[in-house]
Structure 1
Amino acid sequence: MKQTKKYRYQMKFRSVSILCSLFFVLFAQGQDLQTYINEAISNSPEIQKFQFQYEIAAEKVNEANWLPNTEVSAGYFVSEPETRTGPQRARLSLRQMIPWFGTITARENYSTSMAEAQFEELVIAKRKLIVSVSQSYYNLMANKAKQDVLEQNIQLLQTYERLALTSVEVGKASAVSVLRLQIRQNELQQSKDILEQQFLGEHATFNNLMNRESDLKVEVVSDLSIPFENEMISEENLNVHPELTKYDKLYESISQSELLNQKESNPMLGFGLDYIPVSERTDMNPIDNGKDVLMPMVTLTIPIFNKRYKSVTKQNQLKQQELYSQKEERLNTLSTMLSKAIFERKAARISYDTQLKNLKQAEDAEEILIKNYETGTIDFNDVLDIQELQLKFQINRIESVKMYYIQSTIINYLTL
């Protein structure tokens, strides 16, 4: 029991350490995300499910400390058998079987190993929840930023529309230019309306992850930037990822299962006591006349014709080989995921830097157009082209930021 409590304490400490590490990496995105992650872990029914499963598995350590039921039997002789000391009236029996030495300890070790394997499932579930909450948060952040950009561009087009109307009045532009600006505003408004609906859908998804009312407000940060340098990635940590150590724990549980199987294949000892009350003889008075019988007994069960234990040993060997293959397969999958996430995050940074350069050049072009308006030579077709390019670069920049942080959550999931 003390070992179980110590194990639980160690596992909880390890869980807190892992989560704190994840929070530290995500702290750059603001206190809000960390708060949401804490709330999601506390409220998630899935996490609670795995927590209960772990507690059940840990409690099985106490269950393992058991002995077979004590057998008590009683019988009454309808026809009393006659003996030298008198007729026997009844028989009372008491039996207790005891497993071979070390069997109970082997059971406890097996249950402990199963609890450790189940705890890895809990850690994995928490990590996956952190990824889901973070990625949904970044989707909301990007969506909100796109809406803001579209609103800014709509207002900019309204300004250009007023300039175009002024130019039409003085004969320096045609009404077609005004109509094209209005059509462009309608298109941007349509895109903004669609984004608002997508935001509501993602908003509901986020609140469901938090296990709360779907209409509760979600605050997202407005800082759309990425760090100047990527944090160091320790790919060696991938080898101790819970999705892989889970197989190590399962492998160990099978080893403990085999030790238990070997113990159970040994004989079982049994101790008992029979008590037979005897009536006195009336026809004569022999020595020990009417003396009751008390007979201690020892039982030994020997599994001579039982192939079950050999079969279980073979099954355990095959299970361990299967787990080894599963671990190798999962390691390859996680390695591929990590490599892809690293490359895509680098690509997101490259795209981000490129969009910043393009935006600067588009702003320079816009300034030139404004100066041309002052001289009366503005071409509103060029205005629309530059505005469209600016919007494209702004949207691409937002997508780059979102992709950077989404890939970072995958990297954190795999390496922290």
Structure 2
Amino acid sequence: MNKSNMYIYLASAFLAVTSFTAKAVAQEQPKDSLAHYINVAIQNNPAIKSQHLAYQAFEKKIDQAGAFQDPELSLGFYTKPMDIVGGRQVGDITLMQMLPWFGTRKSARQEASHMAQMQYQEYLEGKETTVLQVYSQWYILQKLEQQLENAKQNKSLLEQLEQLSLKRFSAPSSSGTNSSASMNTSPTTPTTSQGAASSMGGMSMGGNSNTNAATAKSTTTSNNAMSSGGGMSSMGGSSSSGMSDVLRIRLEVIEIENTIESLQSQIKAEKVKFNALLNREANCEIAVDKNIEKVDFLISEDDVLDNIADNNPMLGMITEQGLAYKAKSEMDKKMSYPMIGLGVQYMIIGKTNDPMLAMGSMNGNDMIMPMVTVTLPIFRKKYNSQQEEGKLWWKSSDENLQNTLNTLKAEYYSFKSQLEDTQRTITLYGKQSTLAETTFNLIVKEFVSGKSDLTNVIQVQRQLLDYQLKKAEAIANYNTLVASINKLMAVGSHSQNQ
């Protein structure tokens, strides 16, 4: 291997290693993206944190609902021991534990569990709402950035037009000279012919040649003066027209500069709102793509409706609420049965000196007495009313579930219709932008060649800017509608783990 090939091989190896290192560093450094900001919002948003803590609080109620009632302990002492058969009673200790009917605690735990799941679905709904807000705010920023970029490009085009107008403004001096020269040349021929004819006529008629020469000279002088005057008029008109074009373009530039400042102010305000969703400082920098792209939506109608019915948190919340009412109804039914109390009583007995009450060896022996109590739920109207209440709430929940499902379906079809209209609008503004851009390029060429005036150029330029701004706004609306449909399907809750 010669030295040149060796150098080439070493250089190639160095470039490969450098490229690999750069890619590795780029992969290690996370880039600000929409997915990154959504994760930050889910982790930091105070509303999501509040609802998640509420869910955790509801989970703690499960153990509370399944717990037994606290046992009752009662202590009694006589200030003066009471004589009884077998001794003197000093006092007694009673311990009692009430036990609900079989299955009551299980029903209570089920109710509390469904209530906790209902709160979890509400937490998911809050998370979906926050994710939608992040999407919407992101697309608003993208729209404004795209409009700002379009405004800057149009300002650049106007500045180029201003340069062309300035060149045209400085050109009339030479064009006026050429025009004057051409206009001076054109009357010369008929003047010469007229002079020649007069001369010939004078010779044939025998007139004075000096008179004819003077007449021809005065005629030529007059024609030259008229030609000079016409050239000066042409120069003045071209100069005035060129200067007015420059001023009109500068007026348009001032207007676009005002639009740029307004867009920059809007972007600053929207970034503050975006940072608020992420629970960050208002002045935190946000990396937003300047080019807004339309999001693809390829899910079929049947799949969307199935996902709404299966995953929507609002439906899940109502479903869990209905199951909680059902469990409560079962618990109320079991609560209408007797409760059983098991206990023990320990009587402290001292020795007595009365031989009539001593009872021999039983004198002074403590006594233990098991106890059983039973509640008597004889007021049935109260318990029956509680059970009927639970059933009515359960049925109400079923009707609310169906109504909410119908509302969500109607909302989806409304979003779908708006999505189709927005798609047509994007296509329309895309075609109009393309035609306006082509027309603008052609009319600028005509303006340079003098075949068109500045009014047409500015009109087309305004149309081009208007179509570009409306297209960016339509794409932002389309993407927001897609995010709204994804919220109905709870895409964010199932794709983002908390």
Query: 1:138 aligns to what?
Result: 139
Distance change (3 Å), C-alpha of 1:63 and 1:91: same
The structure-2 alpha-carbon separation of the partners of 1:64 and 1:377, relative to structure 1 and needing over 3 Å to count, comes to same
Shift of 1:380: 0.3
For 1:21, the equivalent position in structure 2 comes to none
Gap change, CA 1:91 and 1:192, over 3 Å in 2: same
| Structure 1 residue 82 displacement after superposition | 3.1
Letter in structure 2 aligned against 1:341? F
The one of 286, 307, 310 equivalent to 1:237 is 307
Distance 1:232 1:32 in 2: 27
**Correspondence list, 1:41-56, <5 A:** 41-56=42-57
C-alpha separation in 2, matches of 1:375 and 1:279: 129
User: What's the counterpart of residue 405 of structure 1?
Assistant: 479
SS of the residue 2:84 aligns to: coil
Report the Cα offset of residue 199 of structure 1. Answer: 0.9
Query: In the alignment, does 2:412 pair up with 1:338?
Result: yes
Shift of 1:50: 1.3
1:293 matched to 2:367? The reply is yes
**C-alpha separation between the residues in 1 aligned to 2:40 and 2:33?**
11
Deviation at 1:388, TM superposition (A): 0.7
SS of aligned partner of 2:379: coil
Provide TM-score, normalisation by structure 2.
0.73
Give 5+ residue unaligned stretches, structure 2. 1-30, 173-237, 492-498
Counterpart residue number, 1:190? 258
**Larger CA Rg, structure 1 vs 2:** 2
One-letter identity of the residue aligned with 1:109: Q
Tell me the distance in 1 between the aligned counterparts of 2:316 and 2:353: 78
Match of 2:233 in 1: none
| Aligned counterparts of 1:228 and 1:320: Cα–Cα separation in 2 | 41
- Superimposed CA distance per residue, residues 132-156 of structure 1 (whole angstroms, 9 cap, x where no aligned partner): 0011000000001101111111111
Structure-1 separation of matches of 2:120 and 2:143: 35
Instruction: Give the equivalent residue in structure 2 for 1:83.
Output: 84
Contact 2:422/2:474, CA 8 A, preserved across alignment: yes
Alpha-carbon offset, residue 174 of structure 1: 4.2
SS at match of 1:89: strand
Higher helix share: 2
Aligned counterparts of 1:105 and 1:163: Cα–Cα separation in 2 = 87
Per-residue CA shift, 1:213-239, capped at 9, x if unaligned? Answer: 111111112333326774434222222
Letter in 2 for 1:35: H
1:162-203 Cα distance to aligned partner (Å, 9 max, x none) = 222222332273433222222211211112111111111110
Indicate conservation of the 8 Å contact 1:164/1:380, yes or no.
Answer: no
Matched, 1:176 2:244: yes
With over 3 angstroms needed to count, the CA separation of the structure-2 counterparts of 1:364 and 1:292, relative to structure 1, is closer
Indicate yes or no: 2:68 matched with 1:67: yes
Provide the identity percentage: 26
Distance 2:458 2:381 in 1: 84
SS in 1 for 2:331: helix
RMSD: 2.1
Tell me whether 71-80 or 183-192 shows the greater mean CA deviation.
71-80
Structure 1, residues 259-307: CA drift from partner, whole Å, max 9, x if none? Answer: 1112222211111222223333424253433333322111111111264
Q: Comparing 57-66 with 294-303, which one deviates more in the overlay?
A: 57-66
Pick aligned residue for 2:457 from 373, 383, 392: 383
Q: Distance in 2 between matches of 1:279 and 1:228?
A: 91
Alignment of 1:311 with 2:311, yes or no, is no
Q: What is the CA distance between 1:381 and its match in structure 2?
A: 0.4
Kindly indicate whether residue 319 of structure 2 is the aligned counterpart of residue 248 of structure 1: yes
* SS of aligned partner of 1:73: strand
- Paired position in structure 1 for 2:283: 215
How many correspondences in the alignment?
Answer: 387
Query: Which residue of 398, 421, 430 corresponds with 1:324?
Result: 398
Give me the whole-angstrom Cα distance separating, in 2, the residues matched to 1:300 and 1:291: 30
